[in-house]
Amino acid sequence: MKTAAALLMTAVVALDVHAANELRINAAQLAEKFGSGAVSTSDIASNYADRRVALTGTLLSLDEGLTGDVVGKLGDDPDQAVRVAFANQAAVAKIRKRVGQTVTLHCVGQFSTGFATATACQPD
């Protein structure tokens, strides 16, 4: 029993550390920076790409991609929004009824030349 409690405590501490390392970003502001060219390629690579990010914004849409994966748009403007791909079908099912609402997604930032993208997204 003590071992199980110790493992549980370790997992809780690991989650807290993980959350502390997440880069918190407003999706609309990030999309605007990408679209305007205000973010350089080196800034994207060093500050956003392959980092854990917590993206907050309006979930504008969910669409099925060419491979059957669901892709969402997060931000204020559908033409200039962060494109998000979800970790699994359970994440899609959980977020599907929240289109049009403000949400926070926990993702991995990705490099893109035209717009901000994130993968492996999970809703709160």
pLDDT, averaged in runs of 10, over the chain (124 residues) = 32 41 90 74 73 96 87 93 94 96 95 82 94
- Phi first, then psi, for residue 53 (nearest 5°) are -130, 145
| 96 vs 33: CA distance, rounded Å | 27
Residue 76, token pair as written in the block: 């204020």
| 51 vs 18: CA distance, rounded Å | 11
All structural domains of the chain: 22-123 (2.40.50.140)
In this predicted structure, what is the pLDDT of residue 3?
34
Contact (Cβ atoms closer than 8 angstroms) between residue 23 and residue 52 = yes
In this predicted structure, what is the pLDDT of residue 41?
64
Residue carrying the six token digits 């403000």: 102
Contact (Cβ atoms closer than 8 angstroms) between residue 67 and residue 84 = no
In this predicted structure, what is the pLDDT of residue 113?
66
In this predicted structure, what is the pLDDT of residue 56?
97
In this predicted structure, what is the pLDDT of residue 7?
28
3-state secondary structure of 74: strand
